[in-house]
């Protein structure tokens, strides 16, 4: 659809998961964006849903890179300012998928039994 764009960002890190998640969350907020939801996949991956004004894409790129997160080239390209006049001052939705590279075993959580 003309004038609409969905950002699909991805990156990886060898940094400690909880600390990096906090830094990325703060970076998103400092860029004038906001987190709308997130999903954890064991201790291997987090997918963060966010919204950002097209005017703040450059700030988002800079603040995310300052966390030490390694963004893919495709992600960096999506964060470049656009010449598309229909995107000026538009709110864009997106996801940021972060893969945590480590040698830890999967994070196991006990699921309570549901009666019935």
| Average model confidence (pLDDT) across the chain | 88
pLDDT single digits (tens) 81-91: 766 655 677 89
Q: How far apart are CA 49 and CA 53, in angstroms?
A: 14
If residue 106 lies in a helix (H) or strand (E), which one and from where to where?
none
pLDDT at residue 1 greater than cutoff 50: no
Q: Identify the CA nearest to 96 among candidates 30, 16, 27.
A: 27
The pLDDT of residue 116 is 60
Higher local confidence (pLDDT), 87 or 69: 69
Q: How far apart are CA 19 and CA 26, in angstroms?
A: 11
C-alpha 72: how far from chain center: 12
């Amino acid at each position: 659809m003309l004038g609409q764009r969905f950002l699909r960002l991805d990156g990886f890190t060898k940094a400690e998961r909880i600390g990096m998640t906090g830094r990325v969350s703060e970076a998103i907020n400092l860029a004038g964006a906001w987190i709308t939801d997130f999903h954890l996949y064991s201790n291997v991956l987090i997918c963060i849903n966010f919204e950002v004004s097209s005017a703040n894409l450059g700030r988002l790129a800079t603040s995310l890179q300052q966390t030490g997160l390694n963004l893919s080239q495709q992600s960096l390209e999506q964060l470049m300012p656009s010449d598309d006049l229909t995107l000026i001052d538009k709110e864009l939705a997106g996801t940021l998928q972060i893969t945590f590279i480590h040698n830890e075993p999967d994070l196991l959580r006990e699921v309570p039994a549901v009666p019935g």
